[in-house]
Every structure is written in C-alpha cells, then in structure tokens.
C-alpha cells in the first residue's frame, strides 16, 4: 500500500449524513470477485442517471471538485452493509483521505486495513471545512499525518486525533499481515524456544 505522510490535494464537500455503502458502491455493481475495475461503480447512482449520463448536481461531477481526493463529509459515513468494495472503489477513484464527523464502525476498520486515512473531527470543525470548500473553487487541503494536522489554503491548521498503531500502519503503507511479518525473526525465535520448553505442543498426533 502507498504510505501516507504529507499530501496536498483538492477537497470536496459531501455534507449529506448517513452516506451508506450501497450509495458508495451499489450492490448491482458487485459482479467481480477481485478488486480490479471498481472505479466506475463509486457513487454510481449519484454520479450517473439511468442512461449513463453524468448528473451535474453531484459534487464529484463538477469542475471544481472532479479531481478531489479529500471528501469532507457529515456524520455516520459508510453505514449500511459491511462490503469492503466500498473502500476499494473510493481508493480506485483516487480518494486518499476522508474527513467526517463520524464513521460507521465496520467501514472505519476497513479503511485501516486498506490504507485509506479516515479522520474524525468535531461537528463544528467539519462544518467549517465544508463551508470553506463550498465557497472556493478547487480548495486545497494539506494533511500531515505525522503532525496530525489539516492545513487549509488560508493557513488555518486543524489538529486531529488518531490511534498511534493505526497512524503507524498508514505512514508505513503496511497492512496488518505485513506488520506481523516484520517480526518474523522474533516469531521464529519464540517457536524454536517453545519446541524445546513445550515440546508436546509440537508433537503430531499418530496417524489413524
């Protein structure tokens, strides 16, 4: 996965609360068993009409926000079903971080496992960011994960909290398996000692 350190990119306002995973990745798009080719499904029913034409009212179809990588959202983003495709397709359209008042728990966990930075901020600060990106075309935000800050284009800095372990995974660009494998020598050393001290645990049962 791509490490997240310091990134500057366009932000987009998504002020609707309770954006669910069916809205992020509709069930009728789920026809693949791998992660490839999902970008066309992201926000599909919001982005496109019944004929496949772009809905001009949807924020990511507008010229000011069509390359946005930091959506600024309301509360309970990612609620609904537990589909991991909802995270995959957001990443495939280039989303690197989501800022919201709150996230659905399962969606929040899947962001961590896939390298997508999910930032929770108090309602007042989220509302201020939404108003800022609504008022100015192509408003850039700079997210510094190391410092845990969001810097606006007019030099206003917002601090955010993040679990230290989650932060390290994102900065390393690692998933939980890679994090475990980093301790492979220690794991092997433990196993070798256990084979001596608790040898009965390593004995295979007799074949029947």
Distance of alpha carbon 66 from alpha carbon 168, whole angstroms = 30
Chain position carrying tokens 């609707």? 16
Helix crossing, 85-92 with 105-114: angle to 10°?
50
At 36, is the pLDDT very low, low, confident or very high (cuts 50, 70, 90)?
confident
Give the Cβ contact number of residue 75 at 10 Å.
17
Write the class of the CATH domain 6-199. alpha beta
Can you read off the two tokens belonging to residue 189? 């050393």
* pLDDT of 175 strictly over 90: no
Helix, strand, coil shares, percent, the chain, to 5 = 40, 20, 40
pLDDT band at 18 (very low <50, low <70, confident <90, very high): very high
66-117 pLDDT tens trace: 899 999 999 999 998 888 989 999 999 999 999 999 999 999 999 989 999 9
Confidence of residue 32 (pLDDT cuts 50, 70, 90): low
Listed range (2-16, 147-161, 173-187) with the worst mean pLDDT: 173-187
């Amino acid at each position: 996965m791509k490490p997240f350190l310091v990134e500057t990119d366009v932000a987009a306002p998504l002020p609707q609360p309770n954006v669910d995973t069916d809205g992020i990745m509709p069930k009728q798009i789920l026809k693949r068993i791998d992660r490839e080719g999902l970008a066309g499904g992201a926000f599909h029913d919001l982005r496109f009409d019944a004929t496949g034409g772009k809905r001009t009212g949807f924020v990511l179809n507008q010229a000011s926000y069509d390359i946005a990588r930091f959506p600024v959202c309301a509360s309970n983003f990612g609620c609904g079903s537990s589909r991991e495709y909802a995270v995959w397709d957001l990443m495939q359209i280039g989303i690197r971080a989501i800022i919201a008042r709150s996230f659905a728990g399962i969606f929040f966990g899947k962001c961590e496992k896939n390298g997508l930075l999910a930032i929770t901020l108090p309602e007042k600060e989220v509302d201020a960011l939404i108003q800022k990106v609504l008022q100015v075309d192509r408003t850039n935000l700079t997210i510094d994960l190391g410092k845990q800050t969001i810097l606006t284009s007019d030099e206003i800095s917002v601090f955010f909290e993040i679990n230290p372990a989650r932060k390290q995974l994102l900065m390393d660009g690692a998933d939980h398996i890679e994090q475990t494998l980093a301790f492979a020598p220690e794991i092997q050393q433990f196993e070798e000692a256990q084979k001596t001290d608790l040898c009965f645990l390593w004995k295979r049962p007799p074949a029947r």
